[in-house]
A and B are shown apart, each in its own frame.
Chain A
Amino acid sequence: MDALELARWQFGITTVYHFVLVPLTLGLSILVAVMQTAWVRTGKEKWLRLTKFYGKLLLINFALGVATGIVQEFQFGMNWSEYSRYVGDIFGAPLAMEALIAFFLESTFLGLWIFGWDRLSKKVHLTVVWLFAIGTNLSAYFIIAANSWMQHPVGTAYNPKTGRAEMKNIWEVLGNNTTLLAFPHVITTAFLVAGGFIAGIGAFWLVKKSRANKDDVDIPLYRTAVRMGAAVMIIAGVGVIFTGDLQGKLMFKQQPIKMAAAEGLINTETSAGFSLLAVGNLAGDDPASVKHLISIPGLTSWMATGDSNATVKGINELQTEYATKYDPNATYRPNLAVTYWSFRLMIGFAAFAAATALAGLWLTRKGKITNQTWFSKLAVWSIGAPFLGASLGWIFTEMGRQPFVVAPNPSAFVDGVDPVYLLTEHGVSKAVSTFEVGLTMVVFTLIYAILGVFWYRLMVRYAQEGAPQVTEPVVGGDDDPLSFAY
């Protein structure tokens, strides 16, 4: 492998790892804030216990999310310095805004939340958790705005004098229609993840408690968790489908070759079907060998345009089109196997999670509780499904953009003017040797793996302990013992 491939692997590994943790933090921070709000408003102890229980799991997750996030910001400069030179004038802005507007907010108020139970009044402490949750979700907006610009550069023009893409209008960058759909898609996904997490752990405990003693006092608490989590999943699931559909339609216009690859659509077709199973050399060397064994007629055309009879361009035609507009020597076909399967599995995992949520709501309808072990097992296993779906979604988005690191904006193309785009191979650092990228990739992967083991053990351990007993927090004096300490 050369430095380019190693740098790509490194980005893939560190980003997927980071983004396994992030959606849980995004969704759970808001949902824990909701739990604490319910406690402050109703005074019911079960809400305080749920806040502390899921809050602790949130903190374990957050710590590793923050730690792995630091690498993300510096990796552009370290491994992708030529990319950074090309896009910095425009791409650096949302990154700096993310730090200044979102990261400060989330980390400062998280510290106040963790250590502030005995320092702040109930209402101020509640405000603090909301500011933390808002900061966390704001950070998602800025980083998605940055990513969406790589998918669909707007508000920019190439400056031949400086040889880079330069900002023309920040509002176009922040209001990119790609961002406006990607952000709600990511946030609804985050709620699917967090809802599944709350419901899955709640179901484990609900079934365990009701099998041991169906009058256990903790049962209402866990039933609440299951129903809250499942309801969030259903609402979020609908949002995921809705935003995903709109995103797909937009992407057929903005990055047609990515979507053609996702569908394994080699030749331009009218009334193109949605393939459920394809064989052949999907890895991309031989598109002619791709055969679709099962497909739903007209669905791809419908997904692309809303009309099942529409014509959708295939990879071969798009390759010719791209070669005339952009670099004539490049191959513009993304990896077919990765895009085709990640797209399908993303949808499959999300659907699976939503089905479990429906089962959970059904089993706990009208005040019922369940003692079915199949359900608790299913619910626990389902915790992983939206995580996988989210990761596959990002793998699809990023791999489908290849060979570009900044995909060209087709609607901004004017013949005779240099368009803003960059091939991934031109973005890699020149100062860094293959050995250096290889070394950092191996060490990052190792240390992430080790820390991941601790993360998993702590998550499982705290989930297995169940909701803690709590005492009403009181604001203490300056010489009182700390209510919480490391």
Chain B
Amino acid sequence: MDLAVFWFILIGVLWTGYLVLEGFDFGVGMLMPIVGKTPKGKRVLLNTIGPVWDGNEVWLLTAGGAMFAAFPEWYATLFSGFYLPLFLILLALITRAVAIEYRSKINDEKWRNRWDLAIIISSWIPSILWGVAFANIVRGVPIDQTGTYTGGFFNLLNPFALLGGLVTLGIFLSHGSIFIALKTKGDVHDRGAAWAKKFSIAAVVVGAVWALWLQVAYSNNTWTWGALVVAALGLIGAAWFSWTGKFGLAFIANVVAVVGAVTLIFGALFPNVMPSSTNPDFNLLVHSVVGVHGLVASSSHTTLVVMTWVAGIFTPIVLAYQAWAYWVFKRRLSEDMLPEHNELTFAKSA
């Protein structure tokens, strides 16, 4: 297999890892008001992701870095083209990181509430915008012959993309509430379980409509019908198991759904990484194909060989220690397991 194709798949894998892991982080953040509800309930939620959220976010940095290294033209066109949505995502990620870490450094109700609000908003924004971004990639955007995006901001707000935003939102809400049901006991668990039923159904509905639209209107390949079916079965499975109270299986079903969805998106794109809606001759390509016009986005063979070695050696190591971290923190949390707040206040202690 061509190494550029291998890297195209690997970047899909990295995005899958990111969407699966930070997907439930975002879900947990968004659900603070309705599943967390009480001050203690919110704390339980935060502590389910506390030890792992930062490691989860590195999947994004790795996916971004891998795009830069393996497909510089894709990285350059995408990040300069989708400028304002990415800017909003970055703002949210910055705020969210600081909010999670700082909200429990000062023992003050107001302090905590403000940071909680920051966590909630900064979890909603990327949950919608990642879907908008991926939908636009697969739909195609105006790109000229130099690989430069020429569309402006409002071009990105088309119905297909906005529905894509609802899809990631729906999946993350479903994924987050299932994760909560899996990781907690008591009242928080019950509320998570109740919402999981609703969100998992919503995710099936928006997910199915969007996936069919994608496959019919924008896919380059018929085999992606298969990925669509996998994604759909995953979402249906998540709903089924949520309704039957089997949250471990529901979680796995959602992972399958994300794998299917990313496969659908990447498969629909191939052999493009970013189609141009201006002129198909300006498409950004995974690799050069005889008779296909476009701008080859991938790095040189030398670079791809180097990066393949690096990924081959380090990805299994990363997976092993991240899995170990989840194992260490595998126990379920409940409100009565929280220690009393013993942090400082801004007023000086005696």
Chain A residues within CB distance 8 Å of chain B: 59-60, 62-64, 66-68, 70-71, 73-74, 76-79, 81-82, 84-85, 87-93, 95-101, 103-105, 107-112, 114-116, 119-120, 159, 162, 164, 166-168, 170, 429-432, 436, 439-440, 443-444, 447, 451, 454, 457-458, 461-462, 464-465, 478-486
Residue of A nearest to B347 (CB): A461
Q: Are A115 and B83 in contact (CB under 8 A)?
A: no
Contacts of B333 in A (CB 8 A): 482
Q: Say which residue of A93, A103, A478 sits within 8 Å of B62 (CB atoms).
A: A103
Q: Say which residue of A73, A82, A105, A451 sits within 8 Å of B61 (CB atoms).
A: A73
Q: Are A73 and B50 in contact (CB under 8 A)?
A: no
Q: Does B221 sit at the interface, judged by CB under 8 A?
A: no
| 5 pairs, CB–CB < 8 Å, chain A vs chain B | A68-B94, A93-B310, A429-B80, A447-B94, A481-B336
Q: Does B234 sit at the interface, judged by CB under 8 A?
A: no
Contacts of A440 in B (CB 8 A): 83, 87
Contacts of B58 in A (CB 8 A): 99, 103-104, 107-108
- Nearest first, the 5 closest Cβ-Cβ pairs linking A and B are A88-B72, A77-B79, A92-B69, A92-B68, A96-B65
Shortest C-beta distance, B346 to chain A (Å), equals 6
A289 to B46 Cα, complex, angstroms = 62
Contacts of B310 in A (CB 8 A): 93, 96-97, 100-101
Q: Are B150 and A461 in contact (CB under 8 A)?
A: no
Contacts of A436 in B (CB 8 A): 83-84
Contacts of B84 in A (CB 8 A): 436
A170 to B47 Cα, complex, angstroms = 41
Q: How many residues of B contact A (CB 8 A)?
A: 80
A103 to B66 Cα, complex, angstroms = 13
Asked whether A104 and B102 contact (CB < 8 A) given A92-B70, A93-B69, A119-B329, the answer is no
Asked whether A114 and B98 contact (CB < 8 A) given A99-B65, A431-B80, A440-B87, the answer is no
Asked whether A71 and B98 contact (CB < 8 A) given A96-B62, A104-B318, A478-B331, the answer is no
Q: Are B94 and A67 in contact (CB under 8 A)?
A: yes
A485 to B81 Cα, complex, angstroms = 41
A430 to B57 Cα, complex, angstroms = 29
Q: Does B127 sit at the interface, judged by CB under 8 A?
A: no
Q: Are A95 and B94 in contact (CB under 8 A)?
A: no
A427 to B80 Cα, complex, angstroms = 12
Contacts of A112 in B (CB 8 A): 51, 325, 328
Shortest C-beta distance, B274 to chain A (Å), equals 12
Contacts of B149 in A (CB 8 A): 431
The 0/1 profile, CB within 8 Å of A marked 1, for residues 317-349 of chain B is 010011001001101010011110000101011
